[in-house]
Amino acid sequence: MDVNNAVSKRSRPGWFLALSAASWVIHSAATAASSLCPTGSIQLIVPWPAGGGTDLQARVIAEPLAQRLGKQIVVVNRPGAGGVVGTNSFVNNAKPDGCTLLLATGAANTAAPYLFKDLQYDPVADFTPVAFVAAAPNVLYVGNKSPYRTAQDFIAAARANPGKYTYGSGGIGASSHLAGALFTKLAGLDMVHVPYQGAAPALAALLGGQVDISVDTAAQIAQVRSGGLRALAVASQRRLQALPDVPTFDEVGVKGLYYAFWGGVAGPKGMPQAMVQELNQAVNDVVNEPKVRDYFIANGGEVNPMTPAAFRSFWLDELKRNKDIVALAGAKAN
């Protein structure tokens, strides 16, 4: 799953740094009559903990989206089971009135069906794809105290010591889980997967040396800039603008490792087309705002506004792609 292909086929700004609460309200004076949620504020459900890539996407777009819609937007984190808990809660409780939206991800919406046998929602029928937000390729990271300075050095050490090394992830089905499993498979490594309850604790474990590597999202680039992490390889077909000196996996000999985290706004099934179109236009306008676009690019991301139909097509393509990736990687809901 290469962000350069998948998306093209269809330093954090200061105003953002303080946004860390698990439930966050954006107030906006009404600038125009909106068809969404005429009776109150809009909840944007994030099925991952605060501080991770999905949460950051939601908080980056929430303020300008609230201003465009003339509505309050409440960002609510409902983490658990690789995004499944919050997504299932959304399916069970959201009504098609525009009052409850989901920050959908590849993990919970297109990978979970192949990892969780008792999934209680249909990854297609229970959702209305509204608008793509952004995508970013995963990156091979080590802590700054790691002895490994290149991907080749780490791969050589891991091959010589099967079962010794660990890779952390933000949970079963997270992009860091699937990208990590794919890395071990394509590089011919025997490593131990250590899942955490979200990206923030997984990052803390990597920084603290509790795990050896992580193939996490580009959201951790800030830690590379601050010196906490080193980036060794990028899971895309070309180098990132934000990490121009970091080679791709192809360049270090792990051919075909393309994996990207992505997020988008979705509604529940049965959402009226007028609401879908209004929200799609608003989200597309937001991600085209210079400060929003610049934030994503600076943090390894790429934005490519889509129509609802194009986003649905992308969603279905990712569902098929993740089936193959889960099978190839041998990823399991352990």
pTM beyond cutoff 0.85: no
* DSSP sequence for 27-69: -----S--SS-TTSPEEEEESS-TTSHHHHHHHHHHHHHHHHH
pLDDT band of 229, cuts 50, 70, 90? very high
pLDDT at site 10: 36
Please provide the CATH number assigned to the domain covering 137-252: 3.40.190.10
pLDDT tens-digit series, residues 50-76:
888 889 999 999 999 999 999 999 999
- Which of 205-209, 247-251, 301-305 bottoms out in mean pLDDT, i.e. has the lowest? 301-305
Location of each CATH 3.40.190.10 domain in the chain: 137-252
Q: Residue 15 burial by CB count (10 A; 0-12/13-18/19+): exposed, middle or buried?
A: exposed
Six-digit token pair at 124?
Answer: 């297609």
pLDDT band of 33, cuts 50, 70, 90? low
What whole-number percentage of the chain has pLDDT above 90? 73
What whole-number percentage of the chain has pLDDT above 70? 89
Buried residues in 177-214 as b, exposed as e (16+ CB within 10 A): bbbbbbbbbbbebebebbbbebbbbbbebbbeeebbbb
pLDDT top residue among 178 and 82: 178
Residue type (1 letter), 295: Y
pLDDT top residue among 14 and 270: 270
Domain 41-135+261-329 belongs in CATH node 3.90.1150.10:
no
pLDDT tens-digit series, residues 84-137:
999 999 999 999 999 999 999 999 999 999 998 889 999 999 999 999 999 999
pLDDT tens-digit series, residues 312-328:
999 999 999 999 888 88
pLDDT tens-digit series, residues 251-285:
999 999 999 999 999 999 999 999 999 999 999 99
Location of each CATH 3.40.190.150 domain in the chain: 41-135+261-329
Buried residues in 94-126 as b, exposed as e (16+ CB within 10 A): beebbbbbbbbbbbbbbbbbbbbeebebebeeb
pLDDT band of 174, cuts 50, 70, 90? confident
* Average predicted confidence (pLDDT) for the chain: 89
Say if residues 56 and 217 touch (Cβ distance below 8 Å): no
- Give the DSSP H or E segment for 184: helix 175-187
